[in-house]
Chains A and B, each alone.
Chain A
């Protein structure tokens, strides 16, 4: 990896996610650099899939920011910015009373902060924050087109053939962008789709419906469907967990190929051997936090966190 001039592709800041009363993520921050391959490991229910799904806003974070290539995807109320809250007197007061950080951040409402900055000072501050927000904001759909996702259950469109599955998003994107020569563009997309299918040796399946494919074929096509969007980042949500053992290899091989070609990847996985082999960095998510992160050697060979040691002793 050529990381001399590091370029941040994806960044999550202070991500909190609640499902009702259940706090799944309690303030997670991390960066994904260009060309970096990151594996997220952790027990079931630790929040690792939720973290991945927050990255493309399939789950909207209850609190926090997602940045893609320097653009903000999450709608953030300027008054409820993490740094603003932490700097506020209301927070300091709650903290002095001994309230937990997570609870305090969740408890503080816009009104509390508005009271602190009254009148002109408050409205000036708000318009400044609105301006900063507008300058940095990117539409969710535009952001998602920069990072595609591969799912555990493949989620190929059942009503479309393999070729149509791959072509749908690029063609619709061309329509959104009001491309002048749509037919020419379609022909190009079609050609690219065939090139991708050839790459995985499934060009003979172009006109087949997903129900006629094996799990391994479905997942490889799902990966290729993501690639057809020419994404800058690829998110993988347990891509091999729903596969029969004999089909895991073909999917992992394709992912390795992508990693070697320099694709930026974030992978939630239970395949520890694979994570060790391809990752530049491994995140251990537990109880809603990133408990430990580091190179595969650090995480797998010299785990410091007792929960990580316990987890590894069970899965390795």
Chain B
């Protein structure tokens, strides 16, 4: 097999399967939807975890820290397998589909990382800002809402964008459960064409175009945000 024929096959497979059978759109659609759901709910849950970690209740802090450390210290694929089997057992009435289970797994994984992003974003705000606000007699809550968070957001948003890109790549793990996202198309097309290499390279290009575009868009948004401050 020559390089020329690989490029040729890449083109053929792209035209026939990705465009012709619409696998490109369903693949990207599932991948982006999974990532968006994981990051969106992960961010909400992550914010709650970050707030909980600042709580004065030691037991709550301990549980949250343990959760975060476990999620960060074990492979995402393992977490997805566990979610895949355990979520249906926990939510028997709802009869969750495999993709819902995977989405929940990714969301919990993302929450752990997002909570650390938020925490470090808050930590990065100069302590003098809090001191000045408290010295003026503002409550801890007002200080957080009016002074610390608006500054922390500027640290948090770019990192949250990076987390979105990381999750886009991590959704490829969901192909283990054939949920239909981009990486699942590999098994589908390989099963018909018996031609793995060009298929993989097509997929690689599609992922790259997605993440590269997003990271450029985020760069523009970041510059706009800086300019407005």
Contact = CB atoms under 8 A, between A and B. Distances in A.
B128 A169 contact: no
Contact of B137 (A145, A153, A157): A145
B128 A226 contact: no
Given A168-B146, A172-B146, A155 B138 contact: no
Contacts of A157: 129, 132-133, 146-147
A163 interface: no
Interface string A6-32: 000000000000000000000000000
Interface in B119-176: 126, 128-129, 131-139, 142, 146-147, 150-151
Contact-size category for A: 20 to 34
B138 to A, nearest CB: 6
Interface residues of B, number: 18
B132 A151 contact: yes
Contact of B132 (A145, A155, A176): A155
A148 B136 contact: yes
B91 interface: no
Contacts of A172: 138, 142, 146
Contacts, number: 65
B152 to A, nearest CB: 10
B137 A141 contact: yes
Given A158-B129, A209-B229, A56 B135 contact: yes
A151 B136 contact: no
Contacts of A155: 126, 128-129, 131-132
Given A141-B138, A158-B129, A229-B137, 11 more contacts: A141-B139, A143-B137, A151-B131, A153-B128, A157-B133, A159-B151, A160-B147, A168-B147, A169-B133, A169-B136, A226-B136
17 contacts: A58-B131, A144-B134, A144-B137, A145-B137, A148-B135, A148-B136, A151-B131, A151-B135, A153-B126, A155-B128, A157-B133, A158-B129, A159-B147, A160-B147, A168-B133, A222-B132, A226-B136
Interface of B: 126, 128-129, 131-139, 142, 146-147, 150-151, 229
